Chain A
């Protein structure tokens, strides 16, 4: 098990290309998952059962089955219904839908955590329900859940490795292909691990920076018995 520098230099280009694909798939999925998750959360806060039911069923199905299964479903089963997707698109859709379901729970808890007095103040000013949600409740809900959402992003980044099973050559699969042809499993998988860490660690710092930028923890009820 000798770790040669020349080997490392030889492997890097392919691994880095894989990493690029991983980053692409992650960023795209994050954006879609946030949008869909937010939409699901708003839909599920509705008071009408007819409106919330399809969203709830969707979320329950996703949360009750493995992500890996969902990836297979979208890539292998959808073509039977006429929808054939390439591995990248299938991967993005599976990751987005999966994380949207979990994020909707996080956003919902954020929405519920915004004090009722905020809605009452908005309504008493004559602000209609839609603007109350978009201008008063959601801005506060999102700030409250930034730490959780940040953690989910890092998690999505790691779960992107699962898309390797449908032959998308992102970082994990690039590593597997190299390892199976050179048998240098130790070197290659160690480098792969380091590349994942090199991205996820700074990402965690970024999340903490965003938390501080939005002054998390200060958006509390202004009538705070400790501070007055």
Chain B
């Protein structure tokens, strides 16, 4: 499973950042995740793809407890994800998430969006938080917009701010839930480039996306989910060039046809 076949050379260690065992989740009687087993090690970049309704977003949202699950267990970097609020808070501090609809706080400036969480949860002083925020805003090339409000930024700019905001918590794992699906096509590249840079620096990440070109560039592993089960997992070359499962093949042919 630890095969790197793209240009990223950040090493993958053996340390398990996310370990999901026999995870089942129901919406009422509908089983959206069916005894899923899934592990991600430090340094890995996993892309999850699949048809809509397959459970891919639900799966990663279980990792930071935005969704609850009914059976199985999840351990994030040694901390079990259960009903204990301290565990949930610890995990949420170490896992960053970027959403399809950005979810920036509209009543705060870009800078304030980034400093809010570190000041509240890590008790950073305002100046320390701002220094950190400027570093990260600079990394996503948006530091000159620090005093603006989200409503004045384009979608691509907002999403880059969202990434910087998540990075201000110095997470050990980043979750991307279709980060470019709500963007106009000309802004998709600027956001994907930021994520690729992040991957080059060794950030462990799980990315739910339809951008297969990006997946080929950045993923150390690609997983295909359908109807609540992971049907296939492989390194990108194997996954795209020689998929094994019928449903994987038909999904790829539909999605790669344009």
Chain A contact residues, CB within 8 Å of chain B: 115, 117-118, 120-128, 131, 135-136, 139-140, 143, 218-223, 228
Contact = CB atoms under 8 A, between A and B. Distances in A.
19 contacts: A120-B97, A120-B99, A120-B103, A123-B64, A124-B175, A125-B92, A125-B93, A125-B121, A126-B92, A126-B93, A127-B116, A131-B120, A139-B107, A143-B107, A220-B106, A222-B106, A222-B158, A223-B102, A228-B155
A135 B115 CA distance: 12
Given A121-B104, A126-B117, A222 B89 contact: no
A126 B89 contact: yes
Q: Describe B's contact surface by its main secondary structure.
A: mixed
B165 interface: yes
Contacts of B151: 218-220, 222
Contact of B103 (A121, A128, A135, A220): A121
Nearest to B100: A223
Contacts of B106: 140, 218-220, 222
A113 B169 CA distance: 28
A136 B64 CA distance: 19
Contacts of A118: 103, 105
Contact of A125 (B101, B117, B158): B117
Contacts of B116: 125, 127, 135-136
A221 B101 contact: yes
Contacts of A221: 101
B182 interface: yes
B32 interface: no
B150 interface: yes
Nearest to B90: A126
B121 A222 contact: no
Contact of B117 (A115, A127, A140): A127
Interface of B: 64-66, 89, 92-93, 95-97, 99, 101-107, 116-117, 120-121, 150-151, 154-155, 158, 162, 165-166, 169, 175, 182, 184
Contacts of A136: 105, 116
Contacts of A222: 101-102, 104, 106, 150-151, 155, 158
Given A117-B99, A140-B107, A124 B158 contact: no
B18 to A, nearest CB: 15
Contacts of A143: 107
A77 B103 CA distance: 51
A139 B106 CA distance: 10
A222 B64 CA distance: 23
Contacts of A117: 99, 101, 103
B89 to A, nearest CB: 6
Contact of B97 (A124, A139, A220): A124
B169 A126 contact: yes
A128 B166 contact: no
A219 B106 CA distance: 6
Contact of A228 (B66, B93, B169, B184): B184
Contacts of B102: 222-223
Nearest to B65: A123
Contacts of A219: 106-107, 151
Nearest to B105: A136
B170 to A, nearest CB: 11
Contacts of A121: 97, 99, 103-105, 162
B113 to A, nearest CB: 9
Given A117-B99, A117-B103, A223-B182, A124 B155 contact: no
Nearest to A124: B97
B66 A120 contact: yes
A126 B95 CA distance: 8
A124 B151 CA distance: 21
Nearest to A214: B107
A117 B177 CA distance: 12
A140 B151 CA distance: 14
A156 B228 CA distance: 55
A127 B93 CA distance: 8
Most buried by A among B65, B101, B165: B101
Contacts of B89: 126, 128
Contacts of B182: 223
Contact of A223 (B105, B120, B155): B155
Contacts of A223: 101-102, 155, 182
Contacts of B162: 121
Most buried by B among A124, A139, A220: A124
B103 A127 contact: no
